[in-house]
């Protein structure tokens, strides 16, 4: 049962919460590697690293202007 009203993602099983993030571009991947290198030692030495991933996310935004959440970055790195 497909609809063409532009709201098909709101149908059961397609909630907004579960939409995919955009694919990573080559430029974003290069920027992520660059930022990861900056924070690599901090990631290795911290037991709880959510704050480090937040810093990585902020630095990534400074470099690219693209918003990637700390969870996306952690999934991409690990």
Q: What is the pLDDT of residues 42-55, one digit of tens each?
A: 999 999 999 999 99
Q: In angstroms, how far is CA 14 from the centroid of its own chain?
A: 20
Helix (H, G, I), strand (E, B) or coil at 15: coil
CATH topology of domain 23-77: Arc Repressor Mutant, subunit A (1.10.10)
pLDDT tens digits for range 9-48: 445 555 556 678 889 999 999 999 999 999 999 999 999 9
| CB 2 within 8 Å of CB 8 | yes
Q: Would you list the domain boundaries of the chain?
A: 23-77
Q: Could you write out the DSSP letters of every residue in 34-49? A: HHHHHHHHHHHH-SS-
Provide the token pair at 40. Answer: 């690599």
């Amino acid at each position: 049962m497909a609809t063409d009203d532009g709201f098909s993602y709101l149908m059961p099983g397609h909630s907004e919460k579960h939409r995919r993030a955009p694919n990573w571009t080559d430029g974003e991947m290069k920027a992520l590697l660059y930022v990861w290198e900056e924070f690599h030692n901090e990631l290795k030495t911290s037991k709880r690293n959510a704050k480090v991933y937040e810093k990585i996310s902020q630095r990534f935004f400074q470099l690219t202007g693209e918003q990637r959440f700390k969870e996306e970055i952690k999934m991409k790195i690990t």
